[in-house]
Chains A and B, each alone.
Chain A
Amino acid sequence: MSDTDDTRLDALLTAAAHRHPGRPALTAEGRTWTYAELDDAVEVLAGRLAAVGVAPGDRVGVHAPKGTAAVLGIYAGLRAGAVVAPLDVADPPVRTAHMVRGAGISVLLTSDRAPAASRRAAAEALTPGSPAATEGALDHGLHWIRTLPTTDRPAPLPAPTDHGGYVLFTSGSTGRPKGVLLSHANVAHFALWAAEELGLTEADRVGSQAALTFDLTTFDLFSTAAAGACAVLMPDVLRAFPRDVVGWLTEQRITAFYAVPSLYQGMLEQGGIEGHFPASLRVAAFAGEPFAPRPLERYLGLLGEVPFYNLYGPTETNVCTYSRVPADWTADQEITIGRAVDGDTVDVFDEDGRPTDGQGEILVAGATVFQGYLQDGTLVDPTRTVVFRDGVPRRAYATGDIGRITGDGRIFLRGRGDSQVKRRGHRIDLLDVESAVLGLPQVTAAAVVAKDGPHRGEIWAYVRTAASAEDVLAGLRGVLPLRMLPDRVVTTDSLPVNARGKVDRRALAISTVTA
């Protein structure tokens, strides 16, 4: 048991409203909300949700562009006891519908800014032949759309998520996004740990740049609330423009910032951050993918006394290891993802399932480890009991990441043992993309690979089809989010096979043939 076992995420907000009622809690879309205002609005909205039939344990999707309405929707859902799943309005409706059905989402909360996209996703999610989704208006520009009749509730989730939780979707190998089910305590443990480790106080202004579907924003929302600080939401349209991000960090006097290395590197290479370093910044963190060594060294020079944290962990464990990058670190040294956060146990295991000092798979146990995947309406728990180095058996999640651990508990990453890749900070399962390709008409065979050699870092789809590469790409655009589209589609009459008669992905990965 840890001290966060019964902490509720929405209670962090209420506690801050008691301690600092008049302090700023949220700045978004040109308005600042105090903690008292935000907590009151959440309380009223939660009551409205209950009145339209949202009961504890129900799954509620927040399908709204990042903004005040989305934040209110998340907190109100949590306050009503729902399991809240932030969803991305830019995802194709077909994919959103998979998530709605897979997680058993019965209500979507949408905002004035994207009702059409939400209606399309809801229509797509409904069983064919069932009547159109009912909907209604709430306060603050929020609307609800019912995607499952109240008489059609999915089976209740086991404790503790029968009284609420959080769902973040990740790319899965089956072609269906997997819903990572987290308890309040899972998220709260990370939020409180990070607030303390990064030294957040009520004077901080936390810059929130990531999508709400991304686990980085659990820091932006909940660590911020735990500290009574102010969450400042960056307008979504700025994310693709590193120069705007640098300007925004300065104008908004951001003091704490958590982002993927791709964005930090963009700010260095195109954003001019070296000439215009945000003066208020006092702590920064990155996660999601390894930081390229040379840009990292340049950042450390820029940051000076400002601590720069490397946080590691798949969505299933949120952050499970951390390291404050030494200010004098240089690009010729190996970078560590650090040691386990308090409350988690992280170790490396060999193929026989024993802790090893050599290379092996990284396993995580402890307070941040998720409850299981929501898939096809049911909860699937992939964790297993594993005996750790200290002889203690623990419920552990195998990350699929390969690494090595030193005698003092620092872990070094060594890649992956499966089909999962990171591209620009996004986790993508190549088999997820491949099954989308195979689902297109006119496609008879396909292999999706991460390229090596001159196109390293790109994802290419090799497709046996009568259709053109453009047709394949257009088809994929209808079923996959932009971030998951292949960088290139190569149509081919045949796919190479290896000695065992299977598609030779290794050969494709290094092939330079483009047609």
Chain B
Amino acid sequence: MHTVEDLCALISSKITWGRGEEPQRLLPDTPLLELGLLDSLTIMQIVTALDAEAGLTLPDTEIVAANFRNPGALWAVLENIGAGAAR
């Protein structure tokens, strides 16, 4: 997990895309919640994958709509967590 694009790919892999939809098209500013792309199960799968695949543990206090409104918002939170872990 080095860039926001990596995060977009991870989120995209947890979304169940319909036929004909383009999974690669997640951008840092894609409004995930407004588009109805995430339900509570998908959100927990993303949180679990961040922990398992990138070693980034998102505390419960950060699992809020404001941080999941788009990949860029979540990336900003992860950068803080990563910086905290590096210190």
Q: In the bound complex, how far is the Cα of B41 from the Cα of A482, in angstroms? A: 10
**In this assembly, does A241 line the interface, its C-beta being within 8 Å of a C-beta of chain B?**
yes
Contact pattern, B 19-37, Cβ under 8 Å of A = 1, otherwise 0: 1110000000000011010
**In this assembly, does A240 line the interface, its C-beta being within 8 Å of a C-beta of chain B?**
yes
**In this assembly, does A409 line the interface, its C-beta being within 8 Å of a C-beta of chain B?**
no
**In this assembly, does A475 line the interface, its C-beta being within 8 Å of a C-beta of chain B?**
yes
Q: Are A243 and B61 in contact (CB under 8 A)?
A: yes
Q: In the bound complex, how far is the Cα of B75 from the Cα of A202, in angstroms? A: 44
> Which residue of chain B is the closest to A263 with respect to CB atoms?
B40
> Which residues of B lie under 8 Å from residue A240 when comparing CB positions?
38-40, 43, 65
Q: In the bound complex, how far is the Cα of B61 from the Cα of A21, in angstroms? A: 41
Q: Are B36 and A90 in contact (CB under 8 A)?
A: yes
Q: Are B65 and A238 in contact (CB under 8 A)?
A: yes
Total contacts A-B at CB 8 Å: 56
Q: Are A482 and B65 in contact (CB under 8 A)?
A: no
> Which residues of B lie under 8 Å from residue A243 when comparing CB positions?
60-61, 63-64
Q: Are B65 and A477 in contact (CB under 8 A)?
A: no
What DSSP secondary structure best describes chain B's contact surface?
loop
**In this assembly, does B57 line the interface, its C-beta being within 8 Å of a C-beta of chain A?**
no
**Known contacts A243-B63, A270-B63; is-contact A474 B40 (Cβ 8 Å):** no
Q: Are B40 and A424 in contact (CB under 8 A)?
A: yes
> Which residues of B lie under 8 Å from residue A439 when comparing CB positions?
none
Contact of B43 among A89, A92, A241, A247 (CB under 8 A): A241
Q: Are A483 and B63 in contact (CB under 8 A)?
A: no
Cβ < 8 Å to B, chain A residues 207-247: 235, 237-241, 243-244, 247
Q: Are B68 and A483 in contact (CB under 8 A)?
A: no
Q: In the bound complex, how far is the Cα of B40 from the Cα of A483, in angstroms? A: 10
Q: In the bound complex, how far is the Cα of B51 from the Cα of A178, in angstroms? A: 41
**Known contacts A474-B16, A475-B19, A477-B19; is-contact A272 B40 (Cβ 8 Å):** no
**In this assembly, does B84 line the interface, its C-beta being within 8 Å of a C-beta of chain A?**
no
Q: Are B33 and A272 in contact (CB under 8 A)?
A: no
> Which residue of chain A is the closest to B69 with respect to CB atoms?
A237
Q: Are B33 and A237 in contact (CB under 8 A)?
A: yes
Q: How far is the CB of B10 from chain A (nearest CB, A)?
A: 16
Q: Are A237 and B34 in contact (CB under 8 A)?
A: yes
> Which residues of A lie under 8 Å from residue B69 when comparing CB positions?
237
Q: Are B61 and A272 in contact (CB under 8 A)?
A: yes
Q: Are B16 and A237 in contact (CB under 8 A)?
A: no
Interface centre among A237, A271, A483 (most CB of B within 10 A): A237
Q: How far is the CB of B55 from chain A (nearest CB, A)?
A: 20
Contact pattern, A 482-498, Cβ under 8 Å of B = 1, otherwise 0: 11010000000000000
Cβ < 8 Å to A, chain B residues 53-75: 60-61, 63-65, 68-69
**Known contacts A240-B38, A270-B60; is-contact A474 B68 (Cβ 8 Å):** no
Q: How far is the CB of A240 from chain B (nearest CB, A)?
A: 4
> Which residue of chain A is the closest to B32 with respect to CB atoms?
A237
Q: In the bound complex, how far is the Cα of B59 from the Cα of A270, in angstroms? A: 9
**In this assembly, does A266 line the interface, its C-beta being within 8 Å of a C-beta of chain B?**
yes
**In this assembly, does A478 line the interface, its C-beta being within 8 Å of a C-beta of chain B?**
yes
Cβ < 8 Å to B, chain A residues 237-268: 237-241, 243-244, 247, 266
Contact of B16 among A247, A266, A482 (CB under 8 A): A482
Q: Are B40 and A266 in contact (CB under 8 A)?
A: yes
B interface residue numbers (CB < 8 A to A): 16-21, 33-34, 36, 38-41, 43, 60-61, 63-65, 68-69
A interface residue numbers (CB < 8 A to B): 89-90, 92, 235, 237-241, 243-244, 247, 266, 270-272, 424, 473-478, 482-483, 485
List, sorted by A's number, 17 A–B pairs whose CB atoms are closer than 8 Å. Answer: A90-B36, A237-B34, A237-B65, A240-B39, A240-B43, A243-B63, A243-B64, A244-B65, A271-B60, A272-B60, A474-B16, A474-B17, A475-B19, A477-B16, A477-B18, A477-B21, A483-B39
Give the 5 A-B CB pairs with smallest separation, nearest first.
Answer: A477-B18, A240-B40, A237-B33, A478-B18, A90-B36
Further 20 A-B residue pairs, CB within 8 A, beyond A240-B39, A241-B40, A477-B21: A90-B36, A92-B18, A235-B65, A237-B69, A238-B65, A239-B40, A240-B40, A240-B65, A241-B64, A243-B60, A243-B64, A244-B65, A271-B60, A272-B61, A424-B40, A424-B41, A478-B20, A482-B36, A482-B39, A485-B16
